[in-house]
Each structure stands twice: as structure tokens, then as C-alpha cells.
Structure 1
Amino acid sequence: MLKLPPLNSLRAFEAVARLGSVSRAGDELCVTHSAVSHQLKVLEQWIGKPLFLRNARGITLTAEGQALGLTLTPCFTAIAERVDTLMTHVSKPTITVGCIPSIAARWLVPNLAQFSEMHPDIELNVQYARASQKLPLGDLDVLITLGRDEAAQVKNTAIFSRANKPVTSPAYLTRFGPIAGPADIARADLLHDEGKSGWEEWFRKAGAPAPFPLNGAVFQDFNLLATAVIAGHGVALCPTEVFREELKRGDLVILSDIATLVDQHYFIITRIPPAEPVVLFSDWFRALTAPAQ
């Protein structure tokens, strides 16, 4: 067990030894002159030796006082610096967000700076998520994906409709000509997401015969499909809610109000009960993606 003098007395002594004045030490420690003098007497009594020589002009350190002061100041400085480092580098709460590429590229990543400005004390770890991924499996705190997670311990909050409508770019219309309905779409260059069943369903919904065989390139990644349709390569079925900004800018135009997947949604999924940083992130993302009123 360490045998230490009263710490308040050591603190008062170190300040007086460093500053050379009882009054200045009192100002630094926010205590009175008499309180500092009392602590000095306590320390001298504890040690059993005088540490100061008192005279009309003030006090001066004895040899023992000088030695103790030279020991204490570096120690107090080291303690102060270490505590400051610990306080400065307190680890921030971190949340891991898994997000499917289509939403990550259009909504999450472009707006991350806004969340960081609003909540600088929260660290985000962002990962791509597969459409089949589930929140209870793995180490995600938040999952942004298509479809609900039916697990009992999670909360599903709808953010976008998955309603798919035919879209294309103005550049493609300039090259191909006007598209006024299903018959014109059937003649167009069709772009497919992973397979051709999406367009087959759309033509059934439209009550129009689908071209046979269905033409056009198949893209195994939705972001590649999006790049292709914006670049003017043809007509694609896209969730118009997800492409809200592209439609607003005029990068894409909707060719028909006939839609598939109208009863399906994208969701932000969190555990129950969610941690406070997860609530803050979820509330921010829902506000970000809410349709303008």
C-alpha cells in the first residue's frame, strides 16, 4: 500500500512551489490564501520537516521543498496530460449499417456528411448488404434492404415503395423516337435486372403482348442497370421512388404509370429495443428519404 501525504496538500504545495506565491497558487486552485497556507502546514506536519522559509517578503523553498517540488511538478503534469488524452479520445459509439447497393449509391453514401454533421459523436461503419441478408444474423446494427424481416426481435419501417415503372433517358427518346404506350415499349431496347421475368410481368399487367423473345441486355447488378438506362441504352423497369432525384433532374423520364411490385417496399430494419445511436440514425434516414410534401 502506497504511503502518500494528503493529496490536497500535495496539490497546494506543487502550485506554490511552481508559482513561487501562495496568493497565485490560491488563484489557480480557486481557493483562498489562508486555505493554501493551511494545506502547506498540513503537509509539513505530515512529513515532519519544514518545506518553506517564511519571511516578510513571502516564502522560499527549503532544500527539501525544492527537491519535492522538482518531483511533483512532472508527476502532476504527466497525470494531467494523460487524463486529457483519455478524455479527448473517448471511443465514440459505433453503429454498423448494411445497405443494398441501389439505396447506398443513391441515398445513403451521398448524404453521410449530413449525418456526421448532425451527430459527430457517432461513428458509422457502412457495408454493402445482399438482398437476402437478415439483421439477426451477423453483426449489423441497421439493415436497409428490400422486403420485410419477419424475425420477432426486429422492427421493420418502410422507406420506399418498390413500384417499378418503365423509365428511359431523354437521350434515348431522341434517338428512338416518342414512346406512347406498351406497343412502343415492346419495340424498344429493353434492359433487364438479373432476369427477364420483370418485363414479362409488366406486359401482363399492361394487358399487352410481350415481344418474343424479349430483347435486351441482362444486368446482374442493379447499379449497372441504372447506369445503362441513364446513359441512354434503352428502357428499364425501375423503382421510381428510389430514383426520385434522377427523375427530378430530368436524367430519366417515366414512360407509363402502369407499375409492378406496387404492394412491396424497401425497409430500414433495426433490433428491438434499438440503442440510442441506432434510433438517431434511423430517424435521420427516414426523414431524408421521406417524400417532399
Structure 2
Amino acid sequence: MNLPPLNSIRAFEAVARLGSVSAAAGELNVTAGAVSQQVKILQGHLGMELLARRGRHLALTVTGSQLHRRLSRAMIEIQAAIHSIQNDAPDTAVPIKLRLSLPPTPAIASPSAILGDLADCPGGLDLSIVATPFGDEIDWKSVDCAVLHGAPPWAGFHWRCLRPTQLVPVCSPELSRGASTIRGVTDLRRHRLLHEDDGSLWRDWLAGAGMALPGTQGIHFAAPAMALQAARDGLGVALVEASEARKDLQAGRLLQPLKMTLSTLSGYYLLAPAERCAETLFERLCQRLAPAAVAPCG
């Protein structure tokens, strides 16, 4: 198999994980231009776009998001293997006392799923779980690490993406019926758009579909949960995190009229203060937490 240059893989993984070319350049100790060139080499080798500009932001394409998830797992395996060889004791560890903060959201798997994956930590694990709704409310004096929704970088922290944000349009089944049925992007002009921000997310999604933001009346909400409830109530079409809408879609309370998704560099991340958590310990935690922490979208 003709693999792409390893430097190009390393550069792309760093950009996808850290959220910017400049942050990746700092970590790799090269120039931003060198990182961009390596990403272009990888894209040229694959014949696919992995990163795209969404307005002012750099976002992963669907292909880029899939590749990033697999490369993240591979990098963790490589780091764990190197650490094991260096310490000559791959299965020996002291008991770990861990205080983990989780957001109370459907996107996060149940504690039992997480506990099941962490229970096999070498040396044992003393785990405490607390719920923290918003990242800026985390009391880092009381927790060792946290899963939160946001976008890197975070100065002074180790972080690892558990799942990038996948935004999908949803509405009530009653809203997309008869003459109002949504069959294509242009049909959105007949409907009210529900926003959880200033309109940037819908603008980026529509730009990816080749259409400008419609001039129709919209409603802006202070929180994603409010936009999701408004969609259930038939007030319009919302653009929401796929995992947040999963149960409503499965139960038929909502439908996804258009299949295109918007992948962003924001998402669910595991964070730990660098001064208190050794990088090797953090990588061990990532390796065990990543497969179990975030509920599937579908």
C-alpha cells in the first residue's frame, strides 16, 4: 500500500486536534506554512479535501472528520506503545484516583458505559463523577479532568477530541408535509430557521450547500436545548448536534429533511490541567475513555 508521507499525517492530525494551523505549528515546532504544505500533500495524495473554510473558521470535511477519529486512536496507540517500552512495565501501574466532570447531555454515554471501559485500568481506579453543565463552571480544584463541549486551544491543558460536532437540520414531521415538504435546500426559503447563535452556523451549513442565508424570519435562542424544543413544537427548522437529536429522530418526534451535515472543530473534548496530569497518564485515560464516552449519532 502506498502510504502518504508520515509528516503529512502528523501535520493533519495536529491541525484537526488543536483546531488551527498556527497551534499545530507551535506543537510541531515548524512554521505555519510548513504545516499547511504538509496538509496539502496529504490531500493531494488522497485526492480528497480534509479541511475547508466555513466563513472565518477552519472546519473538517466529512472525510476529514472520519480520518481524524481514526488517526487519533492510532496516535494514542503509538504513544502508549512507546511509553510502555520506555518504562519496561506495560501492565504495571499504581491505583489511580480520578475525579471526572461530565456534562448532563444525551451526547454523553451513561456513566455505566464509561465505568465499564475504565474498570480495567492497570492497578485499579478510584473514580468520582460529577455533572457540570458548562465548561466555564468547572471547578478545577475539585476535578482532575472533564468532558466539555467547545473548541481548542485551551492554554495550560492537555486535550483530546472525543467527537467533533456534527450539525444536522431537524424539524417536526408536521412541518414538512404537503406543499411545505422539504425536499431540497431551496425549500428552506419557505420555512423559519431556528438559531442557537447569531446565525453563523446556519450560514456555514447553507454555504456548504451552495446557498446564501434566506431572508426569511428566524428565531434566535440562548441555548441549543431551546432551539431543539422549538423544532419539536413545529416553530421551524433547527440546526442541532446530531447526538442531541438522536432519540427524537428515532422516536419520530423529529425528522432530518436534508442529509447534509456540518462538521466543525468544536466538539466534545476531554481536558486535564497540564500541571497536575502527566501527559502519559492523560493518554492512557484517553485511550480508555474515547470509545465509550460519547454516545453514537445514529
- Normalised by the length of structure 1, the TM-score is 0.52
- 2:86 match: none
- 2:133 match: 128
Which one has a bigger Cα radius of gyration?
Answer: 1
- 2:67 match: none
Q: Which one of the candidate residues 207, 211, 226 is aligned to 2:210?
A: 207
8 Å Cα contact 1:106/1:242 also seen in 2: yes
1:146 to 2:150 alignment: yes
* Paired residue type of 1:97: S
SS at match of 2:206: helix
| 1:71-118 deviation digits (Å, cap 9, x = unpaired) | xxxxxxxxxxxxxxxxxxxxx95614153xxxx22144x723555688
Q: CA RMSD in A?
A: 3.9
| 1:130-169 deviation digits (Å, cap 9, x = unpaired) | 4xx3979654322222212443541x22222313222212
Q: Which one of the candidate residues 163, 168, 187 is aligned to 2:166?
A: 163
- 1:196 match: 199
8 Å Cα contact 1:189/1:216 also seen in 2: yes
Q: How does 1:206-245 map to 2 (within 5 A)?
A: 206-212=209-215, 214-245=216-247
8 Å Cα contact 1:95/1:277 also seen in 2: no
SS at match of 1:283: helix
Cα 1:201–1:123 change in 2 (3 A) is closer
Q: How does 1:1-293 map to 2 (within 5 A)?
A: 95-99=99-103, 104-108=104-108, 111-112=110-111, 122-130=127-135, 133=136, 139-143=142-146, 144-151=148-155, 153-154=157-158, 156-174=159-177, 177-212=180-215, 214-271=216-273, 272-273=277-278, 283-284=288-289, 286-289=291-294, 291=296
| 1:198-244 deviation digits (Å, cap 9, x = unpaired) | 223333332224322x4122110111111221333210111224433
Partners in 2 of 1:262 and 1:280 — Cα distance?
A: 24
SS at match of 1:171: coil
SS at match of 2:187: helix
Cα 1:275–1:128 change in 2 (3 A) is farther
Partners in 2 of 1:152 and 1:189 — Cα distance?
A: 42
* Paired residue type of 1:111: S
8 Å Cα contact 1:161/1:239 also seen in 2: no
* Paired residue type of 1:186: R
SS at match of 1:254: coil
Cα 1:210–1:141 change in 2 (3 A) is same
Q: Which blocks of at least 5 consecutive residues in structure 1 are unaligned?
A: 1-91
Partners in 1 of 2:183 and 2:173 — Cα distance?
A: 14
Corresponding pairs, count: 193
SS at match of 1:173: coil
Partners in 2 of 1:188 and 1:286 — Cα distance?
A: 38
Partners in 2 of 1:204 and 1:236 — Cα distance?
A: 16
SS at match of 1:191: strand
Cα 1:182–1:146 change in 2 (3 A) is same
8 Å Cα contact 1:161/1:241 also seen in 2: no
Partners in 2 of 1:148 and 1:190 — Cα distance?
A: 28
Partners in 1 of 2:100 and 2:294 — Cα distance?
A: 19
Higher relative contact order (CA 8 A, sep 6+): 2
Cα 1:230–1:175 change in 2 (3 A) is farther
8 Å Cα contact 1:145/1:266 also seen in 2: yes
8 Å Cα contact 1:93/1:121 also seen in 2: yes
SS at match of 1:248: helix
* Paired residue type of 1:147: A
Q: Which blocks of at least 5 consecutive residues in structure 2 are unaligned?
A: 1-95, 120-124
